[in-house]
Structures are given as C-alpha cells and as structure tokens.
Structure 1
C-alpha cells in the first residue's frame, strides 16, 4: 500500500487496535481521562486522521492539534482549508528539517477536517525541546517529539491563562539514538547554521513554568 496516499485509511479507527484507542485506554485511570487535547505531528497524515475520526466517532470532547515543523506546507494548507479554499497545490523547494514530520507538498492522506488546530514550530524550538525532553526522560528522543512538546507547552500555557484544567496527550515518536551524528552533535548545528541559544533559553524557561513566545496558530472556529 502507498502509505502517503492511503495512510488515512490503513487503520480502522473504529476498532480497538489503533493508536487512538490505546491512548484512551492508557488514560482511563488518570484524573482527566478524556484529554482536552491530543498533539501529533503531520507526516503522511494517517495519525491525525485516525485520532480525529476516533474522537468524533466516540463523541469525546478531545481536540486534535497538529504541530507542523518550520519547512512544511501543512500549516498553510490547513489555513487555506479553514478559509474554504484548500490549496492542494502548495509546494516548498526543500524538505522538512525535522525527520518524520512535515512535507514539501500536501499528501493526500492529510485530512484537514480531522484536525482542530495547527501550530507552526520553528526547528530551533523543536530541537531545544527534544534535548530537554531527553534530559527529563533519561533517554534520547527524536526531533518530532520536540516539535510535539513545544505544542504541548503552548496549549498548557493557554489553558492555564484561561483557568482551565485537563490533560494534554502527545506522542513520543522515534528514538533519538539515530541522531547522534546530527541533532545531538554540536558540530552539526554549526554546519547547518543553526543558532539554538535563544531557543534553549526559551524552552528552559517554559519547562520552569514561564511562557513561551507566541507562535503562529490556526484553529477551527477561531474568530478571524
């Protein structure tokens, strides 16, 4: 099966053997078992489609946010879809800097109607969050986990400011061991021309409870 074209239909989102069902099963004993938000990164689009369809099918109040990396067309495509004129022809001249998520063109399996909001995340913030999560967990995670975590922090910040309580779920993606020569190598950052000093400081402050700088967000039903 062509995973880019058919990823959104490869999983039976109504059954009990998909990622959405697993999330709700694992959350069952938590103080807030039905998440306010589930955060994922858009790759083929299969995960966000499964999550969005599942929560609607089960009539949960959970909303789905996709965290889009810097070099990807999905965020702009989603905004065009919200405006009623989805631009499926969007392209970029380069691929994503965060392996596994983001695309230079809109994949057929990305279903905008299954997504409630999207956040555009700079690569430097993704990689700073990746390293901080790795320190917290005691094992290396990949860059897409960092992208997701930036979105989690933004949502938590927004919920706190609104006086809301609840749970936010995200997904730990691939292991970081395969990135020892890149994301975890200071020489790689220098070669890529990436200065992560400010991003590291911003993420450290966010982990300590301070606010992250506001990032571009598109949301279904938002004013304007």
Structure 2
C-alpha cells in the first residue's frame, strides 16, 4: 500500500519490518517439543472452530410448485467470516499446519481478491500468526476493512496478474508461508466427506421431494468448490451434474471448452471472488459437466432479483450462479422435467454496496442490467425464458 509521500509501504509482520528490508527466515526444529506443543494447540483451535460453527442453511428460492422444479441456495454467508471461503480457509490452514509449512511467528501470505483473505485473517488471528493479503487495488473497501479488523494487512497490486508473483516474493522476503489457495484448494479439501459442502447439501435435501439434485451450480475462483462437488457426486455414485458459471474477463470457460490448460484472460474479473486471468491449478475441468458464460450485467441483475425474492442481499458471484441456475430451471420446466437444483449464496451483499448495488458504479462500468432484469422478471412471471 502507499504511505506518506506516495512511496510503497512493504507490509510486514511488525512495525520494524515495514521498511521493506529483508527479514531473516524464521526456521523451526520440527522435533522441538515446544514447536510440537504449539502445533497441537494450533490444530486444536482450528478444528474447534468447525465444532462451534453450525451448518449453513439451505434456502428455497420461490418458484411455482406446479413447475416441478425446486431451486435451493446454500447460504454460505452465515459462516463466522461471512462467506463460502471460511470452509476453504479452515482446510488450507489445517493443510499448512499438518504439512509443517505454517510456523509460529512466521507470516501467512495469500493472493486473494478478498473473501478468502478475510477468512484466512480470521484463522491466522485464531492461532496467533501474522497475515498479509496481496490483493487487487479494486477490492471492495469493506473486504479490506474486514481483513484489517481480523489483524491482517492489505498489500495492493494494480495488475491482477501480479498477485501470484508478489505474494510469493513477499513470503520469501519475510520468511513466511505463501498459502496459495489457487494451487491447494482442491488438495486441502476432503472431498470424500468429513462435513464438506457437498455432503452437507445432500444431508439437508434428504427429506425434500427431490433429494438428489439434477444439477449443482457453482462458480469458480480457485475451482475448489466445483472440484469438491464433482468428485463427491462421482464418489457417491449420484447422477447429479455439475455446472460452473463463469463471469466476463475470466478464462475458465474458454479453457474448459477448448481443453486448453494455458488459456488466459487479459483483464481482471469485475465479479469479486470468481473468474481468473489464468487456468488455476485447483480448477479441474474433468470434474465439470457443463459451463456457462455469464455477462456481468446479468450477475448484478440476478443478485438484485434475489433481494426482491427472499429479502437478502448477496455478492456478485451469487448472481453469476443464480443466473445460470434460473436458466437451467427454465430448460427443465420447458422440457417437463422434474427435479431439484442447488446453487450458492457465496457471501453477503453488504460487502458490495458501493459496487453491485450502486447505480453510479454500474454507469461507470458501462453495465446496463435492464434487459437481464426484465428476462428474470418475465421468466418468474410466465415460466418462459425470453
């Protein structure tokens, strides 16, 4: 971040390290009883957080019952840190601790557009290690405030591509651990069960009229959530299909469609938390059955329609998934197919009042949500997708 006089400050782990000078690497004898005591206590604290956190709600989006299609939204905004990324951050911290990568007094560093960093700052504070988030300068002010509230530091970059390099370099300079959600998300999550999001969804649907969903719709930032769902349904031998909704300025759709692991996007996503400029290591195309490319204006129209339908504000990534889920509802209803669909409320809309709920921001971005809002209202009123 920029300090007095416009000079870039080097966020460090304490005031003496903010000069930008190299910081000696903190090494640990992993056989040292003091380290093992610290490690056991850190793992206990992270696991205890899961025990204190009740499961998130599965909400119904109101649709006419005669359509024969039920749409549910898994409300991940009710986690202690307010987003789907709470699950991921917990898994990444356990993974890093048990691998011996996270050590006492050494900073944990992440490249993030916001929500993951908010959750990771929470767990870093929980176990008493410093945390630094390397983020695009366009990240919402509220997310930055939440990171700092949890004791973390925000380190801004102008180019989204620079996040990866800067986070790794910062870890090298400070002797910290680059936790790297974009590589380790799919590895750190126990996709076979152990109270992951997929297992939770199926448990909550058990007494519904269509307990095995026809489709689960996810959005991709790291790709960890879609990988968890895709692996779990195959492991459990369900017939559910996985659809991933991808925003503008993201390469995932093109990479998936053309089987191109080297696909890239020139610009950063306007939908915070999802969409990436490169094919991330944690994004598993083989675990996905379908993808949809969603205009950013459609994502915004969908979150505003969600507020009208259930009285809840949600972030833009929720709108990206909801737009795709509603299109699948329309397809199924038009074909006379019955069943259920599950999508996600990824985080609360209060973090984006200056973006997705601001008409001034939409005008600044050149986004016209009118035709997309009309498409949704027409569909919900008539059952026909325009």
TM-score normalised per structure 2: 0.53
Q: Which runs of 5+ in 2 are unaligned?
A: 1-178
User: What is aligned with 1:25?
Assistant: 203
Residue 68 of structure 1: SS of its match in structure 2?
strand
Residue 320 of structure 2: SS of its match in structure 1?
helix
Is 1:41 equivalent to 2:226 in the alignment?
no
User: What is aligned with 2:88?
Assistant: none
User: What is aligned with 2:276?
Assistant: 103
Deviation at 1:43, TM superposition (A): 0.9
User: Does the 8 Å contact 2:193/2:232 carry over to 1?
Assistant: no
Query: In 2, Cα distance between the equivalents of 1:16 and 1:28?
Result: 17
Deviation at 1:55, TM superposition (A): 0.3
Query: In 1, Cα distance between the equivalents of 2:312 and 2:339?
Result: 27
Aligned CA RMSD, in angstroms, stands at: 1.2
User: Does the 8 Å contact 1:93/1:104 carry over to 2?
Assistant: yes
* Aligned ranges 1:1-224 → 2 under 5 Å: 1-81=179-259, 87-212=260-385
User: What is aligned with 2:52?
Assistant: none
Query: In 2, Cα distance between the equivalents of 1:208 and 1:148?
Result: 20
Deviation at 1:206, TM superposition (A): 2.1
| Rg (Cα) greater in structure | 2
User: What is aligned with 1:221?
Assistant: none
Query: In 1, Cα distance between the equivalents of 2:385 and 2:186?
Result: 32
Residue 109 of structure 1: SS of its match in structure 2?
coil
Between stretches 58-67 and 15-24, larger displacement belongs to 15-24
Deviation at 1:203, TM superposition (A): 1.8
Residue 208 of structure 1: SS of its match in structure 2?
helix
Deviation at 1:16, TM superposition (A): 2.7
Residue 88 of structure 1: SS of its match in structure 2?
coil
Higher RCO structure (Cα 8 Å, ≥6 apart)? 1
User: What is aligned with 1:219?
Assistant: none
Task: Tell me the number of residue pairs that the alignment of Structure 1 and Structure 2 aligns.
Answer: 208
Query: In 2, Cα distance between the equivalents of 1:178 and 1:138?
Result: 16
Query: In 1, Cα distance between the equivalents of 2:201 and 2:323?
Result: 20
Query: In 1, Cα distance between the equivalents of 2:301 and 2:383?
Result: 15
Deviations 1:174-216 (A, max 9, x none): 1000111111111111111112221221121122244335xxx
User: Does the 8 Å contact 1:36/1:63 carry over to 2?
Assistant: yes
Deviation at 1:15, TM superposition (A): 2.1
TM-score normalised per structure 1: 0.89
Deviation at 1:54, TM superposition (A): 0.2
